[in-house]
């Protein structure tokens, strides 16, 4: 989940978001299975590494993501996950699972000569950060997570099974409209049939309502995007639907069950109080009993990275870690 990664206009507790700057390194890394991932590094080449995990799945990275990290202190590493952004092949779901993405982070880390690192991710990026950390608990120095999504069946049912629709009946009706009434009992499956029909024109037509439904709920003060580049929308919708149709390639409850593997790692969890995409219950469950977790429930805020209070709190978290 989480497509809205750009258009950040908020201010941080110590002033505005950090200057964007230009990457000091851009490269393509071969990760196997015919996939190539696009990687960029910005900030201080000798600084503390931060591996940035974007949302979606399929959202890709935005240049604005660089602005959460003090460029004098951090070495920010952004990459587009398999099948999206500038990674290739575009919109491909072949050999594209959570386990593949975890393995890609290891390939990237070794190729860039990165040892321990901070993991920074929101929404699906938080899911991936938690999965990676539980697989490689020796690597993360800290976790900075936003808009917690645990990849559970209950969370998917909330968003695609009518839960969130009780708050947005008009948007839900628009999301359902392209689907025949007989198929509306399982919206993920109904869209899956159309997003993987083999005809790109049809796939693009169904990608946009998938994208608009999520965007409509992403922020309290952010208008839903009524359009997006067709290729982007197709990649985002296909990848996200592919993961959700397969329960994110996780066992239900896995990330809570295996939390004991990462309880030695400090974590800051930034959660919008009124997040309708990933409601705060998941963040509360994740943090409960985790002594090193600092849960920050942000008032008057929803899901999007671009919301001013969310952005402020994330910068505060990263600035705070400079002294640790």
Reduced to 3 states (helix: H, G, I; strand: E, B; else coil), residue 287 is helix
CA distances from 18 to 13, 124, 205, 321 (A): 11, 24, 38, 15
Q: How many CB atoms lie within 10 A of CB 193?
A: 12
Rg for the chain (alpha carbons), in Å? Answer: 18
pLDDT of residue 161: 97
294 SS3 class = strand
3-state class of 98 per DSSP?
A: helix
- Residue 228: the pLDDT is 80
| DSSP secondary structure letters along 43-95 | E-TTSEEEEEE-STTTT---GGGGGGS-TTTEEEEEEPPTTSTT-BSTT--TT
pLDDT at position 105 is 98
Tokens of 188: 């993920």
Residues with active-site annotation: 123, 275, 303
Structure tokens that stand for 1 in this block = 């989940």
The architecture (CATH level 2) of 11-152+249-321 comes to 3-Layer(aba) Sandwich (3.40)
**What torsion, rounded to 10 degrees, do the Cα atoms 194, 195, 201, 202 define?**
20
Domain boundaries, the chain: 11-152+249-321, 154-248
Residue by residue, pLDDT tens for the chain (324 residues) are: 876 543 433 344 344 899 999 999 999 999 999 999 999 999 999 999 999 999 999 999 999 999 999 999 999 999 999 999 999 999 999 999 999 999 999 999 999 999 999 999 999 999 999 999 999 999 999 999 999 999 999 999 999 999 999 999 999 999 999 999 999 999 999 999 999 999 999 999 999 999 999 999 998 865 555 568 999 999 999 999 999 999 999 999 999 999 999 999 999 999 999 999 999 999 999 999 999 999 999 999 999 999 999 999 999 999 999 987
Cβ count near 110 (within 10 Å): 10
CB-based contact 132:102 (threshold 8 Å): yes
User: Could you say which DSSP state residue 221 is in?
Assistant: S
**Neighbouring-strand partners of residue 120:** 52, 144
Residue 29's Cβ-count burial label (10 Å; 0-12, 13-18, 19+) is middle
Can you give the pLDDT at residue 220?
82
């Amino acid at each position: 989940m989480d497509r809205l990664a750009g258009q950040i206009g908020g201010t941080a507790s110590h002033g505005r978001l950090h200057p964007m700057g230009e990457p000091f390194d851009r490269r393509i890394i071969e990760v196997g299975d015919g996939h190539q991932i696009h990687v960029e590094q910005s900030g201080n080449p000798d600084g503390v590494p931060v591996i940035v995990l974007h949302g979606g799945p399929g959202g890709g990275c935005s240049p604005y993501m660089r602005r959460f990290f003090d460029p004098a202190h951090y070495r920010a590493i952004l990459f587009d996950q398999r099948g999206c952004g500038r990674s290739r092949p575009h919109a491909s779901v072949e050999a594209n699972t959570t386990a593949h993405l975890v393995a890609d982070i290891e390939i990237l880390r070794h190729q860039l000569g990165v040892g321990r690192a901070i993991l920074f991710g929101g929404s699906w990026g938080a899911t991936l950060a938690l999965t990676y950390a539980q697989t490689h608990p020796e690597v993360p120095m800290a976790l900075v997570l936003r808009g917690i999504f645990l990849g559970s069946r209950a969370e998917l049912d909330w968003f695609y099974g009518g839960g969130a629709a009780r708050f947005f009946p008009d948007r839900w009706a628009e999301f359902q409209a392209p689907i025949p009434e007989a198929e509306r009992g399982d919206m993920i499956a109904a869209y899956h049939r159309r997003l993987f029909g083999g005809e790109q024109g049809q796939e693009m037509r169904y990608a946009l309502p998938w994208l608009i439904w999520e965007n409509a709920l992403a922020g309290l003060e952010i208008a839903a995007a009524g359009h997006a580049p067709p290729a982007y929308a197709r990649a985002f919708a296909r990848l996200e639907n592919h993961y959700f149709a397969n329960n994110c390639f996780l066992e239900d409850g896995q990330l809570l069950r295996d939390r004991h593997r990462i309880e030695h790692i400090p974590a800051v969890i930034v959660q919008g109080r009124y997040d309708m995409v990933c409601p705060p219950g998941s963040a509360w469950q994740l943090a409960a009993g985790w002594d090193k977790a600092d849960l920050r429930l942000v008032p008057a805020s929803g899901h999007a990275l671009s919301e001013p209070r969310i952005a402020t709190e994330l910068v505060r978290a990263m600035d705070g870690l400079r002294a640790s």
